[in-house]
Structure 1
Amino acid sequence: MEKGLAWVTGASSGIGRGLALALAQEGWRVAISARSTGALAEVAALNPDRIFAFPLDVTDLASVGKVAAQIAEELGEVDLAILNAGTYEPISASDFDPTAFARTLQVNVMGTSNCLGVLLPAMMARKAGHIAVVASVAGYVGLPYASAYGASKAALIHMCQSLRPELERAGIRLNLICPGFVDTPLTKQNDFPMPFLISTEEAVGAIMKGLEGAYFEIAFPWRMVLSMRALSILPSRLRFAITRRMLR
């Protein structure tokens, strides 16, 4: 059954790739974007009748506008946008790198903002649409080596919470997606134990189910979510006693 047009960013690998394939399987036409042109083409080739590649660097606002216009011209209005493009670089105090910090914020925060900037006018004009922003439970509380990544995801959480009432009134549904550790190319960089690690398939299943539900936030797995929320409300003395143990 035809479900409309979805646009998934960061769709060349990991969660984005899995979501594009799952949406196509459920009857959506899916526009996919990422910087990795070759990998993006490989994803589209898995379901060429329903998945269409539109290479894009979300940090380039002009390019985001051009690609959004191209999608609208070739495929029609976007009904569902999953803003998943993101990056992760561990940053430690001993070799703190402002350039890497800025790069993380530019992709994770401004890349999402750039996409919202081209999506919202059309959706608000027709008083319809669905947007899902992929943040992370890492945005709940500061963790060692995640100063840039956690800050970027905390910004996305705050942004979505701020936008939700206005978008709801405008007839646009907004979901905040907060995964824990998911086995993807990004997390393979980690050289520390990742509690409650789940597969990409499990993450995609949780997101697909959540997109059909009534809740604002789609957060998983539940044990990781509870752990991070509990850590965030502990008195600082206790919280830092725990996070000090995470140091390598």
Structure 2
Amino acid sequence: MQKPQWSVVWITGASKGIGAALALALAGLGCGVAISARNSQDLHALARSGAGLRGELWPYPLDVTDGAACATTLAQIEAEHGCIDLAVLNAGTHRPLSLDDFEIAAFESLMQLNYMGVVNTAVPLLRSMRRRGAGQLAITASVAGYRGLPTASGYGASKAALINFAEALKLDLAGTGVALSLINPGFVRTPLTARNRFSMPFLLEPEDAAARIIRGLQRRRFEIAFPWRFVFWLKLFRLLPYWLYFPLVRRITRA
């Protein structure tokens, strides 16, 4: 893989899974990577594991549900390392919700982290990038946001909100010099997907997902969705009328 054009990268949700794999891959290619997550110990452990790579990993603990803290962390990174060339807003969580788990607090926590966590970081980032007329922003959503799926009324809704957010923002950013990408992964082996109690088709390793994301970002593609065979069927499902969609999904998922 060719050396990226980014000198300074910021990744949220970087302590585990896709975020950690992406941070290590970019540092291996020579980027300086600011890594953020709530767990300070995990961040520092990740930074130590990256010792000896061509680039550096800089830990910046952060709870993205705190809007003021997001702005402060961004200012600190830019003061210490320079303007951010690429930001990957990857922080998020997954919780399947059956009807027995249907409670307001579960929906609020998923939306606060998965959706508002992106908004809280995107607002100050876009101010900085628009001022200089340059920069690249990537938002991690999920193929689960394409259509409603069983037990995903909370998680899927938060990812659907991110997809709509990114589509609208792509139009608004035209002519500003700021590039926007939407990352929609399928199933990737992470601590979050380990909670699933069903067979996950086309399951990828985090390192494979990171490589696919980097290639898509280098090409400045708007949507980076993978694996393609899985994405193809889910995009086809988006076109189906409800009278076909609901029976088909019930049969496939045995819901």
Tell me the TM-score normalized by structure 2: 0.94
Structure 1 CA distance for aligned equivalents of residues 29 and 164 of structure 2:
31
Instruction: Say whether the 8 Å CA contact 2:8–2:86 is kept in structure 1.
Output: yes
Q: 1:231: Cα distance to partner? A: 1.4
Aligned partner of 1:16 in structure 2 is 19
Aligned to 2:197: 191
The secondary structure found in structure 2 opposite 1:81 is strand
Query: Superposition pairs for residues 1-248 of structure 1, below 5 Å?
Result: 3-48=6-51, 50-245=56-251, 246-247=253-254
The answer to whether the 8 A contact 2:35-2:43 is kept is yes
SS in 2 for 1:211: helix
Kept in 1, the 8 Å contact 2:135–2:178? The answer is: yes
1:9-52: per-residue Cα shift (whole Å, max 9, x none)? 00000000001001111111000000011111111112356100
Distance 1:116 1:94, change over 3 A: same
d(CA) in 1 for partners of 2:221, 2:79: 32
Which residue type is aligned with residue 43 of structure 2?
L
Q: State the Cα distance separating 1:181 from its structure 2 match.
A: 0.6
Letter in 2 for 1:58: V
CA distance in structure 1 between the aligned counterparts of 2:103 and 2:129, rounded to whole angstroms: 38
Contact in 1 for aligned 2:34/2:60 (Cα 8 Å)? yes
Q: CA RMSD in A?
A: 1.3
Q: Percent identity?
A: 49
Aligned length in residues: 248
Structure 1: gaps (5+ residues): none
CA deviation map 1:148-180 (0-9, x unaligned): 111111111111110112223100000000000
Q: Any conservation in 2 of the 1:144–1:247 contact (CA below 8 Å)? A: no
Q: TM-score, normalised by structure 1?
A: 0.96
Distance of 1:37 and 1:195 partners within structure 2? 33
Q: CA deviation at 1:124?
A: 0.3
SS at match of 1:32: strand
Q: By how many angstroms is 1:247 displaced? A: 4.3
Unaligned runs of 5+ in 2: none
- Contact 1:168/1:174 (8 A) holds in 2: no
